Structure 1
Amino acid sequence: MLKMNRYFKLFFHRIANDLKQKELLPLKLLFFMHSSTILVLYPYLTIHMRELGINVEETAIMSAVTPAVAILMPPLAGMVADKIGNFRVLLSAFSIVGGGSALLLLLVPVGRLTVTFPEKLIFGLRCESDPVLSLHQEFPCKPINSDHILDIELQLETCGVACQSSLTKDQSRSLLVAPSYEIQVLEVDTNDITTYTFKTAVSNETMSNITVFLRNRKILKNLEQYPSVIRKLSKHTYFFPADHLYTFFCNGSNCSVGKMSEHPEQQGLSNTFRSGVFLKLLERKDFEENLQLYKMEYIGSSSDLICTDPDNEIITVNASVNMDGVNTSLNLEPCARTCLVTGSRKRLCQNAKTTIELDTSLTFWSYLSIRVFVGIISGTSFAMFEGAVIAILREHKADYGLQRIYATIGGMISSPISGWMIDYASKGKSYTDFRPIFFLYAGLKFISGILMLFINLRFKKAAVSVISDVLTVLRKLEMIALLMSCVVLGCAWGFIESFLFWLLDDLGASKSLMGLTVTVGGLVGIPLLVLSGPIVKRLGHANVIFIGFIFYAIRLMGYSLLYNPWLCLVFEAMESITFGLSFTAAVTYAAKLSTVTTDTSIQGMLGGLYYGVGKGIGSLVGGYLIHPIGIRHTFQLFSGTTLVIGMVYFGFYHVYMKKHPSQGTDITKKDSTHSPKMEKKAVDETTDFHLDPPVVYEDAMCNPAYETTEVEDEPTETISANEDSKVNSH
């Protein structure tokens, strides 16, 4: 309990002391704005691409190419910034241009149209020695199983006559909206003709309402006025309802489509009944008529069905149609008694929707071009921003983790707000409206650009030989291992960033829930960021990065097992470790291994490898694996790979790198001039910094903004007997 109280005191003590540094307040505000801006838009770009009809493979390519192309700019921008020294105007310009260019994504047209078929199939039921269901393939049905009898619940809608006739397109369109028609029945035995007149309840306006057009979707609906609408049952077959004239009867196994007046003692089949249907082999005429036929094997408890039609009558239909303002009479024959029944599409068909490609090339290349441009601008801005942060922290001996708290708070607030804005703007619309978050992103970018003009970088000296200084830092084995680990961690982060919301979208999660995922990770992450200095000091940079590997593996495996989207919040809480803590350790580790004049270049390279190369590889590989093995197995594969590589990094560090440490510089050390003697002494003191005693100055290397009270409270825990002797020798 006493130890817990001490950690609480340390927690608030570090925050309070950091807030006393007034010169860091603009930096905190910039961290808040910078993170708010990114998390307003970037988490939702994947589902925005999906809304435009960009498929998973194309999404993977974009998510890979965009950072891969943009990777060149952050290191170059970092070198330019190091060469300039005070680069705040350039940083501000990149921020403002990045916000404005993102609005161009709203101009990208939809590339694919998703067509959703009606939920019910409409069959024509007729007699051909046995009952047969004919399905017009106007909305193609891919059969679920062609080798077995499928049980389906059918609804008897109406009965009438179906006539075959080869009409022109204009005649066909006019017939379907004819106001009335006559059915003539000739009794062959008596030569009597009976005429029945029927009126329809359909118009051109009614016909247009059966298709709902949305921004990227088209929803098809059945015209459900079954007893009063003329409709097509095949390419050349037209159905004319004759409600209350015909119905479908079954007496045991004997069935027929008969006149109600002929069977007063019998009742027609119940409106809803179960039947077993079997896919029939098609003849040539069926292919020509674009039909799919099913034989009815049983109805209810009756099997071995027999269905007969009377052969002593001739049925014709006469319809008056209006063609180009002229009334014309159309005669259709031969006709046969037929009923309409409906059944669930999902019981017989594998496909509930289809995709129509519009101009996919235009959508893909325009979106990719804009994303690459935005990525270059944003990547450059990020590299320069991180360089500015490190420069300011060195100048004021401040803690990087404590500044990142405000970035976390910014993301916690902005991401759920943007999710709520999307849900609110999409209310009442049958598509997702992303426009509010694009405008919010541009506005926040503009404000950030203005704020960047007020940061003080006058103290930052211009580098004399940037390239040679950077190459010197890159020769360090620890730096190489760190950059490689950032690529792998970036792969895991990039895959989650690109396809977690895709998975949640499949699970039916709201955009508000998606935004809440960032808030949960931020809430848990704040304590870790506050204590990141002591944690890194106690465990070491490499060990903290390894913990990031472990928790990435746990997160990825957890997502693969999700079926309730709300449970993702459990694993999103771990982002405080995988990204917040481990990336903070990586940034401070890189700063520790670099020099004052190479800070921006190295941070640009680190960010480029993490957010660029790593994210690109993770998005590309993950996107192409989703189609063949499924999104859940892809998450599992990434989990296993991340765990294995993390263990390799951990083992290599402890077996080799820890015993052969690279020389480093303190992240808080100012750029000052030393005499050769002092420089030699500095080299001697940092040659084996893993083993040096944690006196106040050296301990600040692992713990920026280090306070002496943290050592004084725990002298026995931080200085061993052997190290104490080394202190005395100094």
Structure 2
Amino acid sequence: MKQCVNKNLITLKCVLFCFLSGVGCIFPFLPPHMLSLGLDRGEARLISAVAPCIALLGPALLGPLIDKLSVGRGSTGGSAGPSGSGSLLRIVTAICFILSALFYTLLLTVPYSHRHPVRRPQVLFMCDEQSAYVMQEVCKEDMRCNRWSGERTGVLAVGSCEYGCADPNMTWVKKPFTTNNPASTTLSPMYNSVANTTMLIETGNEDEWDYEEFPPHLCYNGKCMVYMQHEARLRLPLSLIAPEPLTDNETADSDWCTYKTSGPSKCTVPPQRLEDLYVNTDECTPAVRCQVLDPYDEPDGVLANAECRLVIGDPTYTFSTYFVIRVLADIWPTAGLALLGAACVIATRETSLGRGDVGRQLAFGTLGLAIFPPLAGLAAEQMPETPYVVPFTLHAVFMLIGALILLVDKHMPLSTPEWWWHTATGALALPMNAVRRYGAETAAVFAVVVLLGMLWSGIDSYLPWTIMELNKTASELNTTTLDMNTTATQIGLTLTAGALPAVPALLWAEALVDYIGHSNVFITAFTFYCLRYTGLAYSTDYTWVAVCEILEVFTLSLVWVTAVLYFRHLVPRKYTVTGQALPVIAHFCIGRCIGALVGGLVSEAPPLESARAVYRALGVAALVAAAVYLALYHLLLAPRCAARPVGPPHHLLQGLNANGASNGTYPPLRVYHEERSRKGHFRY
């Protein structure tokens, strides 16, 4: 009777437990951590997309390197070198764990920066016989005026122009505009036509103007424009000069910043208007004031990007530092995942004597993914000042424990693959030149895993942000600040919801995938991705998010073990580590990058509704992918493969017949994997 627990694999299970626990403690908290450092969402999306591209260097380089160093040093009949005993794989994996702990911990040292929400202060415009003035409220954040070197040229859109009396305190200029103001212009029919306006602008001859019921004329650099009430908007071309900065001994004595025009400008007020307004020219200055329209949004506006901004720290330095550390950090857990996949394949000894236990090893490791993320989130909520110290520290601790186990346990069954590939008789070893190359099939499965990785990343890369937005909506918060402290446990529980159902599924994963077939597992995954995206698109609270995460057992856990098992069969044994690097590169590097790009197509306002639109689109894409895959495989590929039996070479057939009767026909994979052995036919 087969033992339920293989004592030789206990330490490997512990390493997987530590690895997945460490990954679970840090991965869901990376998106909110980026925002907490002051990065905006655009910068965070860029990092989320670029980091997986750089991370593929780990498995892409280490996989072939370990395979190359292992060839010839542990072959049957030869002496067992260091790599033949599996020490190379253990040491390199331990190094990846240590570097992962180091680089992710370094993220805690990235300096904080903060961009306060942009405030748009009020803007006023006044013009008298001496000059024109644009006035802007002082930025209360830092009590400074917006300044620039030289002149700034652009357009100022104005409306509701009127005559009045400007006193030294600018009391009249600061008064709010009212439609019933007696000082507003009253235009005669001769000024209510575009033709007359154009004539006045082109002539620019002030002496010919009829001042009877004179509308406001705004003159700049010898050219005058007339405000016409029926037009509602007048675009004034201006060049402004910023005020001189205060010296160390000066203090601001006004709540307004005044910008003068660089060229000659004036507004002449006719005597008739002065009489109508009862203006005493000895006590005030006759002037024209206008309401400024959309000063920061007007195309080619002279005050574009002149809003009040308060920046703490150096956002550029924060972004560049985080970017470099993060892209380097993501390399090592990605490489570690590929090496652990190879370790599971080698250690479980999938031979003619029986089926391997890859799924059982992953099931034990998944327990850590279910237990520790919510605990890390709960601990983070208890430390509101430094919420990310606990998750990052737990990640480092688990990674270091896993590395220690790998370095100490020299009896872990990780010998090179050539040692353990044998038959029941112990006399036959399949020669590599008898193995048919499955390049096209490998490429096809690689592409499918890339698509599944894209759909996975479209959810998981930004799911914490969705949870935060749902919580803000539920509590009717109008602020733009994302408070991680109130949602950390919920973010961690999303991993628990997906990992707990995966544990029993992974225990019997190999038999399940063998029975169902890899293509049906992938088709099922695409279908459940459609359900997950649809649920997230219409989620109104966290409960629905958690329910959608339960479906991850079909979209990630079974998909991943299927990919590991399938590449185990496709790739020759001497390339075992490279073969296990392929699904990691496909799913967690290329697919994750594409998914982060697609999932990041979310506008800033409102982000929740925009995210729902992206979820709906990706849900439709997943359904289409499932339908296309179903049609291609079951209507085209499967019938053709079943209709082309291939006979094995004579010397292989003799060896296979030693283990049982033969019917004389074997599909390619059955020859390669000894279909007549007791492990049965893996349905691919």
TM tier relative to shorter chain: 0.5 to 0.7
CA distance in 2, matches of 1:462, 1:365: 47
Is the contact made by 1:74 and 1:604 (CA closer than 8 Å) also made in structure 2?
Answer: yes
Evaluate the alpha carbon distance shift between residue 82 and residue 557 of structure 1 in structure 2; reply closer, same or farther with a 3 A threshold: same
One-letter amino acid of the counterpart of residue 571, structure 2: S
The C-alpha deviation readout for 1:448-495, integer Å capped at 9, x for no partner, is 1111232331354499xxxx989x887433322211011111111112
- Confirm or deny that 1:456 pairs with 2:406: no
Structure-2 residue corresponding to 1:687: 668
One-letter amino acid of the counterpart of residue 433, structure 1: P
Q: Secondary structure at the match of 1:652?
A: helix
Structure-2 residue corresponding to 1:103: 105
Is the contact made by 2:370 and 2:495 (CA closer than 8 Å) also made in structure 1?
Answer: yes
- Which residue of 602, 605, 618 corresponds with 2:582? 605
CA distance in 2, matches of 1:291, 1:597: 84
- Confirm or deny that 1:68 pairs with 2:48: no
- Confirm or deny that 1:529 pairs with 2:506: yes
Evaluate the alpha carbon distance shift between residue 355 and residue 643 of structure 1 in structure 2; reply closer, same or farther with a 3 A threshold: farther
- Confirm or deny that 1:93 pairs with 2:95: yes
The C-alpha deviation readout for 1:147-202, integer Å capped at 9, x for no partner, is xxxxxxxxxxxxxxxxxxxxxxxxxxxxxxxxxxxxxxxxxxxxxxxxxxxxxxxx
Evaluate the alpha carbon distance shift between residue 296 and residue 473 of structure 1 in structure 2; reply closer, same or farther with a 3 A threshold: farther
Structure-2 residue corresponding to 1:54: 39
- Which residue of 456, 459, 471 corresponds with 1:496? 459
Is the contact made by 2:459 and 2:599 (CA closer than 8 Å) also made in structure 1?
Answer: no
Is the contact made by 1:474 and 1:480 (CA closer than 8 Å) also made in structure 2?
Answer: no
Matches within 5 A, 1:446-525: 446-453=400-407, 454=409, 455-458=412-415, 460-461=417-418, 475-508=438-471, 510-525=487-502
Is the contact made by 1:590 and 1:602 (CA closer than 8 Å) also made in structure 2?
Answer: yes
Structure-2 residue corresponding to 1:444: 398
Give the drift of 1:586.
1.9
- Which residue of 638, 641, 650 corresponds with 2:621? 641
Matches within 5 A, 1:68-467: 68-85=53-70, 86=86, 87-115=89-117, 137-138=137-138, 294=176, 356=311, 358-395=313-350, 397-426=355-384, 429=385, 433-453=387-407, 454=409, 455-458=412-415, 460-461=417-418
- Confirm or deny that 1:44 pairs with 2:29: yes
Deviates more, 1:635-644 or 1:513-522: 635-644
Is the contact made by 1:494 and 1:616 (CA closer than 8 Å) also made in structure 2?
Answer: yes
Q: Secondary structure at the match of 1:657?
A: helix
- Confirm or deny that 1:657 pairs with 2:637: yes
Give the drift of 1:441.
1.0
Q: Secondary structure at the match of 2:499?
A: helix
CA distance in 2, matches of 1:413, 1:74: 27
What is the root-mean-square deviation of aligned Cα atoms in Å?
Answer: 4.7
Q: Secondary structure at the match of 2:116?
A: strand
CA distance in 2, matches of 1:288, 1:35: 67
Deviates more, 1:82-91 or 1:610-619: 82-91
Structure-1 residue corresponding to 2:7: 22
Q: Secondary structure at the match of 2:344?
A: helix
Give the drift of 1:523.
2.1
Is the contact made by 2:454 and 2:591 (CA closer than 8 Å) also made in structure 1?
Answer: yes
Structure-2 residue corresponding to 1:199: none
Evaluate the alpha carbon distance shift between residue 675 and residue 28 of structure 1 in structure 2; reply closer, same or farther with a 3 A threshold: farther
- Confirm or deny that 1:697 pairs with 2:651: no
Q: Secondary structure at the match of 2:414?
A: coil
- Which residue of 561, 564, 576 corresponds with 1:587? 564
How many residue pairs end up in the alignment?
A: 487
Q: Which runs of 5+ in 2 are unaligned?
A: 71-85, 123-134, 147-158, 184-247, 255-282, 285-306, 421-430, 472-485, 644-649
Give the drift of 1:45.
0.6
CA distance in 1, matches of 2:308, 2:379: 29
Structure-1 residue corresponding to 2:214: none
The C-alpha deviation readout for 1:582-620, integer Å capped at 9, x for no partner, is 222222122122232222101101101100000011112
Structure-2 residue corresponding to 1:548: 525
Evaluate the alpha carbon distance shift between residue 659 and residue 700 of structure 1 in structure 2; reply closer, same or farther with a 3 A threshold: closer
CA distance in 1, matches of 2:60, 2:547: 36
CA distance in 1, matches of 2:170, 2:537: 46
One-letter amino acid of the counterpart of residue 398, structure 1: G
One-letter amino acid of the counterpart of residue 476, structure 1: G
One-letter amino acid of the counterpart of residue 638, structure 1: L
Is the contact made by 1:545 and 1:586 (CA closer than 8 Å) also made in structure 2?
Answer: no
Q: Secondary structure at the match of 1:433?
A: coil
Structure-2 residue corresponding to 1:723: none
Give the drift of 1:698.
4.5
Matches within 5 A, 1:621-640: 621-627=598-604, 630-640=610-620
Give the drift of 1:699.
2.4
Evaluate the alpha carbon distance shift between residue 462 and residue 527 of structure 1 in structure 2; reply closer, same or farther with a 3 A threshold: closer
Percentage identity across paired residues of the two chains: 24
CA distance in 1, matches of 2:173, 2:651: 93
Q: Secondary structure at the match of 1:563?
A: coil
One-letter amino acid of the counterpart of residue 393, structure 1: T
Is the contact made by 1:491 and 1:618 (CA closer than 8 Å) also made in structure 2?
Answer: yes
CA distance in 2, matches of 1:84, 1:643: 44
Q: Secondary structure at the match of 1:109?
A: coil
CA distance in 2, matches of 1:555, 1:605: 26
1 or 2, which has the higher strand percentage?
1
CA distance in 2, matches of 1:424, 1:18: 44
Give the drift of 1:548.
0.7
CA distance in 2, matches of 1:679, 1:59: 58
Evaluate the alpha carbon distance shift between residue 289 and residue 504 of structure 1 in structure 2; reply closer, same or farther with a 3 A threshold: farther
Evaluate the alpha carbon distance shift between residue 418 and residue 293 of structure 1 in structure 2; reply closer, same or farther with a 3 A threshold: farther
Deviates more, 1:443-452 or 1:520-529: 520-529
Structure-1 residue corresponding to 2:573: 596
Q: State the TM-score, normalizing by the size of structure 1.
A: 0.58
Q: State the TM-score, normalizing by the size of structure 2.
A: 0.62
CA distance in 2, matches of 1:564, 1:556: 15
Q: Secondary structure at the match of 1:394?
A: coil
Is the contact made by 2:380 and 2:390 (CA closer than 8 Å) also made in structure 1?
Answer: yes
CA distance in 1, matches of 2:665, 2:532: 43
Deviates more, 1:600-609 or 1:357-366: 357-366
Evaluate the alpha carbon distance shift between residue 34 and residue 305 of structure 1 in structure 2; reply closer, same or farther with a 3 A threshold: same
One-letter amino acid of the counterpart of residue 641, structure 1: A
CA distance in 2, matches of 1:289, 1:474: 87
Is the contact made by 1:391 and 1:596 (CA closer than 8 Å) also made in structure 2?
Answer: no
Give the drift of 1:580.
1.0
